[in-house]
Structure 1
């Protein structure tokens, strides 16, 4: 449906996807404030006019995936009601800082772009985000403010160039799924604080350069799925890994309790881990009703955009993986 072919009151949902559009056919007499959902994906758009976005005041869902966008308009910060934003499969090298004004945002998908950084302070502003997907980019690090995304449930940063994960992971008390796989030769260490992710049920750290897992992995009591293949792991040893996720947790827990007395740093972490996480002075345990999480969701498949199908080797991306279940 082309936007100027129907009365304004019928445009709460506008679908202009897969129409080979180079520009948006938005009529001047259309009340853009009436649009709640706009899908302009799978076109040939190289830019989205600032003036159009600034008038989408009631936008809740915006889907622009699989276009030719190199930048997003700064006026995207005007979308104060936006909850879902899909900009995947474009040529974005950065996200505008104004995106931090989209404080209602819950789901951000920026997969398959050219992102090298994310806005430094996004974690302080986008406090309602539940799912953040930035896989298949060129990210070297995540902003330290990521640790303030306390409502985050799903974080997908696979297929980047990550050297490390941010400190303060223990603040992500609702995180259920973490995928940092396929950062290959770049990621060689995980922070000890990963053991304080009290809601984590699924962890994929496969195809990195990890030689050892932090002992705190043994404290992930809700962890049900663990993928570690493709790493030169020495600790835990292969015979433990082969026995599955529960065996890995028990092994790492034994190491932690046995080694903490000899290391001041580990003594400090052991105190936190033994309490199973203390945040803002409130002790949180798995039994507290307020922190019981719904069943975990499986990680979405790699949905390569049509024009990016050749970016990665199918053999590499879709090689069989052994997933452990408790």
Structure 2
């Protein structure tokens, strides 16, 4: 009965049937007679439902049904005990069958962009779940039980998920990227996600990032495009593992020279910002040119600062030494300044000569003051 269907074998030897993009309004009945079927793709059609007969495909490990017009799912999906991947995003679903939370091997569940206002109880039973995509729904909170999923690595929805800050094993976090309710701040507790290597906070209203992000030592990829940053978040310069940063389409005018410390950064996208520093001709040359420019500028700043500190320290030390010289020098006749130095006098010799001359003048002034004081005291005694 399945003779007209184009069955394939995946690279892993799985039996696959791809019926995507066929304009289907229903799944052919003969599909459910292929009891050895392991991978079924019916995405991007015009399906409004999936029949209960899906329960016959007990070897099914992956079902792709996204991009249809599904308004409900059959309860029989809960009987597919070998199912590991379920993609039902971009549909019209108002609820998820409770049986989905009883799938012991489910690793990826994608139900984003539907009309869900609640999630069935028992999600905490999905102990093997690694990815959960629930963005663009009508959910008011992260489904209860999600925070107890110890293997969850990636979580996508529309508001910053404060509840998931307890998920210390989380590796990927995408929040706000699909529109809906946008947020304007990231809580300090984000530092709890020590295993996080990808953080996507695009399409929001962010202007700053918490300083606690510096503790995310495993963060390799940061996506911040389409936000409201006026200044570059300096905390990003302190992420030692950052390899990719996408901060395009903000209002940043200047990149800090300290960004050159992110020496693992290989992919930097700052397009769509009104940058004046580095100059546009540098930015157009890509990440390598930008990082080289910032590093060179940082060296200049360091040299200038060191020179200023040295000059300041020299001036302070010079004044102190002069005072000490005056206090330690016994009273004696004032010494006349040296005769004009030869024309070949070096800069160092000139400075030493000027110091000697100034010291001599100060000695003369002190001597005169002491003489005047002694004279006044003698006069008083005579009275």
TM-score tier by shorter-chain length is 0.5 to 0.7
Correspondences of 1:28-47 after superposition (within 5 Å): 31=79, 34-47=82-95
Change (3 A) 1:143 1:57: farther
Q: Offset of 1:208 from its aligned partner?
A: 0.7
Partners of 1:153 and 1:222 in 2: how far apart? 14
Structure 2 partner of 1:24: 73
Q: Offset of 1:26 from its aligned partner?
A: 0.9
Structure 2 partner of 1:277: none
Correspondences of 1:80-99 after superposition (within 5 Å): 80-92=127-139, 94-96=141-143, 98-99=145-146
Q: TM-score, normalised by structure 2?
A: 0.57
Partners of 1:93 and 1:5 in 2: how far apart? 31
Partners of 2:201 and 2:132 in 1: how far apart? 17
Q: Offset of 1:102 from its aligned partner?
A: 2.1
Correspondences of 1:1-326 after superposition (within 5 Å): 2-7=51-56, 9-17=58-66, 20-27=69-76, 31=79, 34-49=82-97, 51-73=98-120, 75-92=122-139, 94-96=141-143, 98-110=145-157, 115=158, 117-130=159-172, 132=174, 134-137=176-179, 138-183=182-227, 186-257=228-299, 259=301
- Superposed CA RMSD in Å reads 3.2
Q: Offset of 1:7 from its aligned partner?
A: 4.0
Partners of 2:132 and 2:154 within 8 A in 1: yes
Partners of 2:257 and 2:278 in 1: how far apart? 9
Q: Alpha-carbon deviations, 1:208-239, whole Å to 9, x = none?
A: 11122233211122222222122222333334
Partners of 1:8 and 1:34 within 8 A in 2: no
Partners of 1:147 and 1:172 within 8 A in 2: yes
Q: Aligned to 1:216, what secondary structure does the other structure show?
A: helix
Q: Aligned to 2:194, what secondary structure does the other structure show?
A: coil
Partners of 1:167 and 1:193 within 8 A in 2: yes
Q: Offset of 1:126 from its aligned partner?
A: 4.2
Counting helix residues as a fraction of each chain, which structure ranks higher? 2
Partners of 2:246 and 2:268 within 8 A in 1: yes
Partners of 2:168 and 2:194 within 8 A in 1: no
Change (3 A) 1:139 1:242: same
Q: Offset of 1:188 from its aligned partner?
A: 1.7
Partners of 1:104 and 1:126 within 8 A in 2: no
Q: Offset of 1:62 from its aligned partner?
A: 0.9
Q: Aligned to 2:222, what secondary structure does the other structure show?
A: strand
Partners of 1:95 and 1:118 within 8 A in 2: no
Q: Aligned to 1:10, what secondary structure does the other structure show?
A: coil
Q: Offset of 1:146 from its aligned partner?
A: 2.5
How many residues are paired up?
Answer: 254
Q: Aligned to 1:168, what secondary structure does the other structure show?
A: helix
Partners of 1:156 and 1:180 within 8 A in 2: yes
Q: Offset of 1:44 from its aligned partner?
A: 1.5
- Structure index of larger Rg: 2
Q: Aligned to 1:226, what secondary structure does the other structure show?
A: strand
Partners of 2:271 and 2:249 in 1: how far apart? 6
Q: Which structure 1 residue ranges, 5 or more long, are not aligned? A: 264-326
Q: Offset of 1:258 from its aligned partner?
A: 5.2
Q: TM-score, normalised by structure 1?
A: 0.65
Partners of 2:203 and 2:140 in 1: how far apart? 15
Change (3 A) 1:17 1:245: closer
Partners of 1:238 and 1:15 in 2: how far apart? 45
Change (3 A) 1:227 1:41: closer
Q: Offset of 1:32 from its aligned partner?
A: 5.9
